Amino acid sequence: MKEFEGYKYIEGGVCAAKGFKANGLYCGIKKPAMPNDGNESPVNNMKNDLCLVASDRMCNAASVFTQNKVKGAPVTVSQKNLKATGGKAQAVILNSKNANTCNADGEEKAMRMCELVAERMGMKPQEVLVAQTGVIGQIFPIEPVEEKIDELIAGLGYDKNLEAATAIMTTDTVKKEVAVEFELDGKTCHLGGMGKGSGMIHPNMATTLNIITTDCAVSTEMIQKALSDVVKITYNCLSVDGDQSTNDTCAVLANGLAGNTEITDEGKDYEIFRQALYIVMMNITRMLAKDGEGASKLLECTVTGAKDLDTAITVAKSVICSPLFKCAMFGADANWGRILCAVGYADAEFDINAVDVVLASKAGSVHVCENGSGVEFSEETAKQVLLEDEIQILVKIGDGEGKATAWGCDLTYDYVKINGDYRS
Amino acid sequence: MKEFEGYKYIEGGVCAAKGFKANGLYCGIKKPAMPNDGNESPVNNMKNDLCLVASDRMCNAASVFTQNKVKGAPVTVSQKNLKATGGKAQAVILNSKNANTCNADGEEKAMRMCELVAERMGMKPQEVLVAQTGVIGQIFPIEPVEEKIDELIAGLGYDKNLEAATAIMTTDTVKKEVAVEFELDGKTCHLGGMGKGSGMIHPNMATTLNIITTDCAVSTEMIQKALSDVVKITYNCLSVDGDQSTNDTCAVLANGLAGNTEITDEGKDYEIFRQALYIVMMNITRMLAKDGEGASKLLECTVTGAKDLDTAITVAKSVICSPLFKCAMFGADANWGRILCAVGYADAEFDINAVDVVLASKAGSVHVCENGSGVEFSEETAKQVLLEDEIQILVKIGDGEGKATAWGCDLTYDYVKINGDYRS
């Protein structure tokens, strides 16, 4: 992971910050794990499907949700709850395998999830957020949650982040957790999160399920501002397959236990907090891209020289989303014409005749296009560059200051295989 | 093919109309065909890569081209030529395997293609259109064209449509030709065309290469009007992979030999001509979708009840473009939640809680979603419906008059295979 001065990567995920407990377990929403049936989570053979993250005290909380018109019931319920509390929350309950979306009884059951936690932990139901992921349009079975809720809460621990992170995995092959430690106002602060992939990933304001916790003291308003800023240049610059999920939820909970003076405006402290959020969300974004369904390679497209940030984002995402380019990367084929093609259909203003393209990886780099036309390059070198599992596509589109990175992955046989029969 | 009253499907493709000759041959842009090397065109083992369509007399001509900022050199040259002649053309020369795009010497060579024809056929170079398709960013070899141009012209015939239609095939597995006969003003008219697929198909104003010829007398202005209208509801409602080609060209040439009074305004005759154009272009659209790269199924999504045509088109295209839905169709999995998801992220106005979805094919139909929520259905029946090779997805989104169909195909292992190493 890229180093950032003043920030130290630490273990702990959603439990890295002081006063945050978590737990995860198998309650029966997923099919039961059988030895060697291939259904277990690859992480420690766990097959968790339900988890809880809870703070020892009330948090300021902000969230971004999917922009899809079809919103999962948990999105609607979490939005209502945050509105009712004016941006406060103390716990988040999550499950995988069933998105509880397009169900007539969906909201009722999502609210029931919050109640089950609240009743047992001395909170109001509105102080609990809920996030669900999985198949759309299948009736959500609330019974397994009711049966296991006591065990889930009894098992909460300050080191159970892994149990939680694995419970939100669906087709993910690795858990996604990142946390950092940093100084603020003379106090040691922590900020960490967990996320899940890995299909239906083309975020619009947020992606999939991401829970971020911090012991920083920061106002709801400033969390929301930082989250909206950072999501634009991290999760919203990610695409696995162009399909925008109905259940995208990214929530940040800040409990203030680090003891710093609460951040309430945009000064230096805010910048330090925002950068911590960026580091965690950017790294989770990379993890999500690299573990995209069926992916064999991480693709990282950086566009420079744009007239502004939005132009750079639009062009970078256009490249990352091109199925033909994604297939070429799977085949380690330096078919740069497809990059130019995708740059060309991006809905953005720039001079196509000024476009330069370089392909790079640990194995080196090749300059494949200059001023919009091909330049001679060694196919052999290009092959070496593209056989690596992390590929950078560097696209210069002019002399402006706008710069952005978008993340994606290659399109492989396994993506088709995984999604040909996902429901079973 | 669907029947339309007053129109009769006929053979002949681009040669169906009076006074149009064609020819196609192998000149050496594609790799040489070897017995059983798998590189031959599947049609009659032909491996043509160069073709010519020419009218006995000057035509009124109109065209639509790609909206990609990266435009193939032939697009630029054809646009200039049509402008120079004020909408006249007498011939079109086409090749496959090399798109002559992103090459510094591209325009010069595309113009040379026109000159080669014009010099030998007594035309001005501006009266010849040029269209090229294939790999982007590889220097186009003009020499094989220069060597074979005399043979190409000498072999022109009024029945050589198949030679031409196969010369524009790239990864296509079948040739695409449609023609109809109809009456206009007491005269028998003909209108026919050829098209090619089958990847990088997500047209914006036109698709891939399509040449349509007719012996109707119709003004350039009215051809352009009809073409723009019809392309919106046919080629522009087609998506194989979401990648918009750099070389999209659809040209219509009308030589007037049918002897009808020239159509110069929007009366009844115009409607008859426009409908003929619709029938040919709609059928080619279906063929392009069904023969999409790697496709095993044609997907036809019809949206009804929209507030207007544009809303219906937007929603239908959103469904057809969803990679997850395309994979589910490959797996014959009635995962209708993915249809709702794609309907939900369509950038259009409607009430998501009014959405109904029916899946249908020759084997029957299943109602899977009503008022935005799932309804019980037989998984067995759904499987039977989805195992067919032509699937209809019927989506009702309200009570409006807007209705549109979009065409696409499933996403399969073979799409990935074909595109993992396309250049070699």
Residue by residue, what is the 3-state secondary structure of A267-279? Answer: CHHHHHHHHHHHH
For an interface test with B, give the residue of A98, A243, A421 to mutate (most B CBs within 10 A): A243
- Which of A290, A314, A349 is at the close of a domain? A290
What is the distance between the alpha carbons of residues B15 and B164, in angstroms, rounded to a whole number?
Answer: 10
Contact by Cβ (8 Å): A339, A324: no
Residues B257 and B318 in one domain: no
Residues B302 and B286 in one domain: no
Query: What angle do the packed helices A106-121 and A73-85 form, to 10 degrees?
Result: 50
Q: Is residue B58 part of a domain?
A: yes
Residues A36 and A183 in one domain: yes
Q: Is residue B31 part of a domain?
A: yes
pLDDT at B35 over 50: no
- Which of B290, B316, B341 is at the close of a domain? B290
For an interface test with B, give the residue of A67, A76, A327 to mutate (most B CBs within 10 A): A327
What percentage of residues in chain A have a pLDDT greater than 70?
A: 93
Q: Does A110 touch chain B (CB under 8 A)?
A: no
Contact by Cβ (8 Å): A358, A394: yes
What is the distance between the alpha carbons of residues B313 and B346, in angstroms, rounded to a whole number?
Answer: 10
Residues A275 and A371 in one domain: no
Q: Does A57 touch chain B (CB under 8 A)?
A: no
pLDDT at B205 over 60: no
Average pLDDT for A57-69: 90
Contact by Cβ (8 Å): A82, A63: yes
Read off the pLDDT of residues B333-353 as tens digits, 9 standing for 90 and up: 999 988 998 998 898 999 988
Among A68, A341, A413, the residue with its CB nearest the CB of B341 is A68
Contact B102 A335 (CB under 8 A): no
Among A333, A340, A424, the residue with its CB nearest the CB of B420 is A333
Q: Which of B30-39, B218-227, B324-333 has the lowest mean pLDDT?
A: B30-39
Q: Does A311 touch chain B (CB under 8 A)?
A: no
Residues B348 and B403 in one domain: yes
> What are the structure tokens assigned to A24, written together?
């995860």
Q: In chain B, which residues have their Cβ closer than 8 Å to the Cβ of A107?
A: none
Q: In chain B, which residues have their Cβ closer than 8 Å to the Cβ of A366?
A: none
For an interface test with B, give the residue of A65, A66, A70 to mutate (most B CBs within 10 A): A70
Integer Rg of chain B from CA:
22
What is the distance between the alpha carbons of residues B260 and A57, in angstroms, rounded to a whole number?
Answer: 85
Cis peptide before B198 (omega within 30 of 0): yes
Q: Does B324 touch chain A (CB under 8 A)?
A: yes
Residues B274 and B307 in one domain: no
**What residue in B sits closest to A356 (Cα-Cα)?**
B102
Contacts of A229 (CB under 8 A, 6+ apart): A274
- φ, ψ for residue B421 (rounded to 5)? -155, 60
pLDDT for position A45: 43
Contact by Cβ (8 Å): A280, A235: no
Among A352, A413, A415, the residue with its CB nearest the CB of B70 is A352
Catalytic residue, chosen from A207, A214, A246, A412, is: A207
pLDDT for position A271: 96
- Which of B256, B272, B290 is at the close of a domain? B290
Total domain count, chain A: 2
> What are the structure tokens assigned to B222, written together?
């009215």
Burial class (CB in 10 A: 0-12, 13-18, 19+), A386: buried
Contact A322 B137 (CB under 8 A): no
Cα B207 to its chain centre, rounded Å, is 5
Read off the pLDDT of residues A85-127 as tens digits, 9 standing for 90 and up: 999 999 999 999 999 998 989 999 999 999 999 999 999 999 9
Read off the pLDDT of residues B230-288 as tens digits, 9 standing for 90 and up: 988 888 888 877 677 778 888 999 999 999 999 999 999 999 999 999 999 999 998 98
Cis peptide before B365 (omega within 30 of 0): no
Contact B374 A137 (CB under 8 A): yes
Looking at the complex, report in whole angstroms how far the Cα of residue B105 sits from the nearest Cα belonging to chain A.
10
What is the distance between the alpha carbons of residues B86 and B68, in angstroms, rounded to a whole number?
Answer: 24
Q: Is residue B1 part of a domain?
A: no
pLDDT for position A207: 45
Read off the pLDDT of residues A144-181 as tens digits, 9 standing for 90 and up: 999 999 999 999 999 999 999 999 988 888 899 999 99
Q: Does B199 touch chain A (CB under 8 A)?
A: yes
What is the distance between the alpha carbons of residues B222 and B235, in angstroms, rounded to a whole number?
Answer: 19
pLDDT for position B37: 42
Residues B264 and B306 in one domain: no
Residues B276 and B318 in one domain: no
Helix (H, G, I), strand (E, B) or coil at A309: helix
Residues A38 and A104 in one domain: yes
B204 pLDDT band, cuts 50/70/90, is low
Average pLDDT for A355-381: 94
Residues B145 and B208 in one domain: yes
> What are the structure tokens assigned to B294, written together?
């790697």
Q: Is residue B3 part of a domain?
A: no
What is the distance between the alpha carbons of residues B268 and B270, in angstroms, rounded to a whole number?
Answer: 5
What is the distance between the alpha carbons of residues B29 and B50, in angstroms, rounded to a whole number?
Answer: 8
What is the distance between the alpha carbons of residues B296 and B412, in angstroms, rounded to a whole number?
Answer: 7
A207 annotated active-site: yes
Mean pLDDT over the full length of chain B: 90
For an interface test with B, give the residue of A341, A350, A415 to mutate (most B CBs within 10 A): A341
**What residue in A sits closest to B330 (Cα-Cα)?**
A420
Residue in B393, B412, B197 with CA at minimum distance from that of residue B323: B412
CATH number at residue B402: 3.10.20.340
Alpha-carbon torsion angle A198, A285, A385, A171, nearest 10 = -10
A37 pLDDT band, cuts 50/70/90, is very low
Q: Does A421 touch chain B (CB under 8 A)?
A: yes
pTM assigned to the model: 0.80
Q: In chain B, which residues have their Cβ closer than 8 Å to the Cβ of A242?
A: 242, 321-323
Question: What are the E-state strand segments in A362-401?
Answer: 364-370, 373-374, 390-396
Please provide the distance, in angstroms rounded to a whole number, between the alpha carbons at the two ends of chain B.
Answer: 36
Choose from A194-203, A397-406, B200-209 the range with maximum mean pLDDT: A397-406
pLDDT at B79 over 60: yes
**What residue in B sits closest to A293 (Cα-Cα)?**
B324
Contacts of A306 (CB under 8 A, 6+ apart): A312, A315, A348, A350, A397, A398, A400, A401, A402, A403, A404
Q: In chain A, which residues have their Cβ closer than 8 Å to the Cβ of B415?
A: 323, 327, 416
Q: Which of A52-61, A317-326, A407-416, B38-47 has the lowest mean pLDDT?
A: B38-47
What is the distance between the alpha carbons of residues A18 and A56, in angstroms, rounded to a whole number?
Answer: 9
Q: In chain B, which residues have their Cβ closer than 8 Å to the Cβ of A102?
A: 337, 340, 369, 372-374
Q: Does B200 touch chain A (CB under 8 A)?
A: yes
Q: In chain A, which residues have their Cβ closer than 8 Å to the Cβ of B323?
A: 241-243, 323, 415, 419
What is the distance between the alpha carbons of residues A242 and B321, in angstroms, rounded to a whole number?
Answer: 9
Q: Does B282 touch chain A (CB under 8 A)?
A: no
What is the distance between the alpha carbons of residues A111 and B72, in angstroms, rounded to a whole number?
Answer: 55
Residue in A43, A19, A10 with CA at minimum distance from that of residue A157: A19
| H-run or E-run covering B283 | helix B268-290
Q: Does A198 touch chain B (CB under 8 A)?
A: no
Q: Does A417 touch chain B (CB under 8 A)?
A: yes
Catalytic residue, chosen from B207, B249, B304, B314, is: B207
Helix (H, G, I), strand (E, B) or coil at A30: coil
Size of interface A-B (CB pairs under 8 A): 207
Q: In chain B, which residues have their Cβ closer than 8 Å to the Cβ of A330?
A: 416, 420
Read off the pLDDT of residues B143-159 as tens digits, 9 standing for 90 and up: 999 999 999 999 999 99
What is the distance between the alpha carbons of residues A74 and A84, in angstroms, rounded to a whole number?
Answer: 15
pLDDT for position A204: 53
Residues A303 and A175 in one domain: no
DSSP conformation letters of A275-303: HHHHHHHHHHHHHHHHTSTT-S-EEEEEE
Q: Does B320 touch chain A (CB under 8 A)?
A: no
What is the distance between the alpha carbons of residues A203 and A406, in angstroms, rounded to a whole number?
Answer: 12
Contact by Cβ (8 Å): A290, A176: no
pLDDT for position B235: 87
pLDDT for position B201: 64
Q: Does B101 touch chain A (CB under 8 A)?
A: yes
Q: Which of A2-16, A279-293, B2-16, B33-47 has the lowest mean pLDDT?
A: B33-47
**What residue in A sits closest to B203 (Cα-Cα)?**
A345
Among A71, A323, A422, the residue with its CB nearest the CB of B335 is A422
Among B241, B322, B372, the residue with its CB nearest the CB of A324 is B241
DSSP conformation letters of B294-334: T-S-EEEEEEEEESSHHHHHHHHHHHHH-HHHHHHHHTT--
Q: In chain A, which residues have their Cβ closer than 8 Å to the Cβ of B343?
A: 69-70
Residue type, B293: E
Q: In chain A, which residues have their Cβ closer than 8 Å to the Cβ of B333?
A: 420-424
Alpha-carbon torsion angle A213, A215, A219, A220, nearest 10 = 20
* In chain B, residues 144-163 whose CB comes closer than 8 Å to chain A: none
CATH number at residue B256: 3.60.70.12
Residues B22 and B133 in one domain: yes
What is the distance between the alpha carbons of residues B12 and B162, in angstroms, rounded to a whole number?
Answer: 8
- In chain A, the largest separation of any two C-alpha atoms, in whole Å, equals 68
Q: In chain B, which residues have their Cβ closer than 8 Å to the Cβ of A331?
A: 419-421
Q: Is residue A2 part of a domain?
A: no
Q: Does the CA dihedral B125-B130-B136-B140 come out positive or negative?
A: negative
Q: Is residue A123 part of a domain?
A: yes
What is the distance between the alpha carbons of residues B247 and B207, in angstroms, rounded to a whole number?
Answer: 8
What is the distance between the alpha carbons of residues A106 and B62, in angstroms, rounded to a whole number?
Answer: 53
Among A137, A340, A352, the residue with its CB nearest the CB of B337 is A137
| Angle (CA) B69 B73 B75, round 5° | 70
Q: Is residue A225 part of a domain?
A: yes
Question: What are the E-state strand segments in A134-255?
Answer: 176-184, 187-195, 209-214, 238-239, 249-254
Q: Is residue B2 part of a domain?
A: no
Looking at the complex, report in whole angstroms how far the Cα of residue A376 sits from the nearest Cα belonging to chain B.
10
Q: In chain B, which residues have their Cβ closer than 8 Å to the Cβ of A138?
A: 337, 374
Domain residue limits at B283: 8-290
* In chain A, residues 373-402 whose CB comes closer than 8 Å to chain B: 373-374
Residue type, B343: V
> What are the structure tokens assigned to A14, written together?
């959603």
Contact B416 A419 (CB under 8 A): no
Among B102, B321, B324, the residue with its CB nearest the CB of A337 is B102
Average pLDDT for A56-80: 91
Among B67, B137, B345, the residue with its CB nearest the CB of A336 is B137
Among A103, A344, A413, the residue with its CB nearest the CB of B68 is A344
Q: Residue B270 CB: number of other CB atoms within 10 A?
A: 18
pLDDT for position B207: 45
